[in-house]
Chain A
């Protein structure tokens, strides 16, 4: 295994690196960017949690767990993921059904599955399983996908999306669906199909309205006009806009954000932590954060283009773009560009499950990058 392992190294990796780094199977620039992001996140969290050391320590433990998962997965060659994909997907769908049947009510939604020792959200599995499954299915066939392949692929992503949306967890459903859609887009689905589906969705949107739950409808209404209900559901958006806006260019300084510290800002450690950053570090701080995100995305896309199989390419691309969806939906929500959808700011928001899933995805990304075989030509 070891000699085989060394043979698979790319010939053009000429730079001298320590054996340790090489042995880690990580992409150093990406890992550095992720660590930097995590550090920024901890700094903001320290302020957002009102200097709560317990929260900080719990987040550090989660980050440790996340990076451990990343390192473990980075070690596993990508073809293993390819082999596990149908099983993971099948397990995910099964668990989602299980949640629907016997899932306990948590936060008004059936998302958690109690396995006695731990409680976890099966939808987290789907965040990885769906892009893997779609890529797995599409990569077997010639690209761009044919009608039949497209239909099956659509089914693969729609079923779990609907199951998750039924829980109801619109944010995760959105992320899961987009991760699958990105695979199809990257696989080269004809643009006319993209526009056709887009137009069809726009047409059924009003019909969809009737299937939304009350609080979901409320979110849309609130998004359209937050001032409508300043003390009710529009409160989140108004307060976070005040926090960000009052931060100005330079911000109020670390630990000096009044909005956040005086409890005006709801969910300030979790989904709305971006507003704390905006208030305390101003536009400058936000631009720094966005630069880190952009670097990670660019690096992820670069890794995708360098990937050697269709499957790994599609998975790497989808993981990267889904990561961007996290960032965009969260910031869009906090700044009032998008309706309130429960999506955390990756690596910055306080929270467990989604962080681990995210790091697992990056682990796969690194595995793809570090396990490339020497290719002839190209």
Chain B
């Protein structure tokens, strides 16, 4: 009797010791991002590779629906809960840095000079007091998606190169029923999606304007260029009747359903479109302006280390951060999510540049601008309302732009006061 009792006690003690030794060795760090299937797959792949290279570190991957993500992060980090490494939208970072919730990246492991040499210049917005606060794996830009089947059907050779061509092609692609109701749009529109970026950073510039001044603290689109840009955009619906704001609820849904000839969207849409069966589509650079000017909007999500990570967790977190911002990780991200590498060395490879899908986005990065938002949804609402006033209240584009400029300046003033 005694002997088996001893055996059990011995075995249990041994197991407990072995387990606790195991726990002591393995550092677990937590990584947070929002839920988007391709992004989740990409990070899972990266974690697998990282853990294989670093057997003493485990990474716990947690996701939240996009709608809750910002709130969850903002509630969790100040209370010392939540992630060690977190993905934040570039526009949010400032608030976190000011509240000292993001640890600056140590300059020995992440020398600023090297980052500036290796990454696209837009990443420099992440630098503060001589150190980088966070780094992106991928960057995004806009491009024109077009439905090749509808193009063929309408006898159109290829995507539009200029804004004028866009209007002409859109006319050929639009279909109406006997009562004049649009059943297929030439191009999707809706300021709520990516179009407010298109208008802000691309159209206003192409019509000769410069949308902001003082590091995006002063609205500057309240001029002829801004009004002309909004007039051109609104006339797609009011004059040329090649679109309908919110057609089929969402532009991307209409495009997916094959009911839209063209659709302007970000590189993050590639993954979702690729998995849409029966849809044949191509990508082109955004059409050039009247004088041939090209512009684009670029944004990105960054990986930062929170103040929660200290000691060996911080060391592990830094290792993980270095890994997810490596060329290798960027290529995996590009192949899985369709978001573009944040380093020219990984982005501007011959294969990527020649890629019919990624190529136009990568070319767009070269001349892209990154809006620094104080409150992106608020600033977006301002442009959406301007468009609604034109459509619903017959306001002139010039007046609509003037009201919008005033409203947006108010948001900026409140934020930077």
A-B interaction: no
